[in-house]
């Protein structure tokens, strides 16, 4: 799966996970909405949760691995202070990630305060590509911690057939 990032450049460059992914050729940065390709857009304001059913929305649901076209995941990389709803005017299928806990040093333990790499890795796992998620997280000292903190919810979300099932699993965590 191709990873694309609409890059705002308004956060600390030393802590920017998007820039690090680009340096290692693990993602492509785009400086404008127009340059950012169509795909599944990770959007915390989306009305629908990400699930495996979304693979068909990007044409990546072929049953044989060799027949599977590359899908695209798109994330917005900007500071949390400026991540308002208006920033998500990207073309694509907008989906929200379910409840997960951050492992990055800035927001460790905070729910839903994920870095760009954490969001992309979570989406990859939910969509069934854990190996890819592990590859991108391996570039960060805390990457394995993200997988450990979210092992059970990610496994359960990945097993869901559709958005409704993901929301039901999420509700169990929010009720705790």
Give the whole-angstrom CA distance, residue 55 versus residue 2.
13
Q: What angle do CA 5, 62, 39 make, to 5 degrees?
A: 20
Selected residue with higher pLDDT from 67 and 63: 63
70 Cβ partners below 8 Å, 6+ apart?
A: 1, 2, 60
The answer to whether the beta carbons of residues 38 and 6 sit under 8 Å apart is no
**What integer pLDDT is reported at residue 13 of this predicted model?**
77
Least trusted range by pLDDT, from 70-74, 120-124, 137-141: 70-74
**With 60 as the cut, is the pLDDT of residue 31 above it?**
yes
Give the whole-angstrom CA distance, residue 112 versus residue 99.
6
**What integer pLDDT is reported at residue 68 of this predicted model?**
37
- Give Cα separations from 64 to 53, 67, 71, 105, 106 (angstroms): 16, 5, 14, 39, 40
For 68-112, the pLDDT digits (tens) are: 346 899 999 876 555 555 466 889 999 999 999 999 999 999 999
> Could you tell me the two tokens for 107?
């927001």
């Amino acid at each position: 799966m191709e990873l694309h990032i609409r890059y705002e450049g308004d956060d600390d460059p030393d802590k920017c996970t998007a820039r690090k992914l680009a340096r290692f050729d693990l993602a492509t940065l785009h400086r404008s909405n127009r340059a950012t390709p169509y795909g599944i857009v990770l959007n915390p304001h989306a009305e629908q949760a990400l699930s495996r059913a979304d693979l068909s929305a990007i044409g990546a649901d072929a049953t044989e691995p060799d027949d599977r076209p590359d899908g695209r995941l798109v994330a917005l990389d900007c500071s949390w202070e400026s991540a308002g709803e208006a920033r998500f005017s990207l073309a694509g299928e907008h989906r929200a990630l379910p409840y997960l806990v951050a492992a990055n040093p800035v927001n460790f333990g905070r729910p839903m305060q994920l870095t760009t790499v954490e969001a992309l890795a979570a989406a990859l796992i939910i969509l069934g590509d854990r190996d890819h998620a592990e590859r991108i997280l391996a570039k960060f000292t805390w990457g394995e911690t993200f997988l450990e903190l979210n092992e059970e919810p990610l496994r359960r979300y990945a097993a869901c057939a559709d958005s409704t099932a993901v929301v039901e699993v999420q509700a169990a965590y929010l009720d705790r």
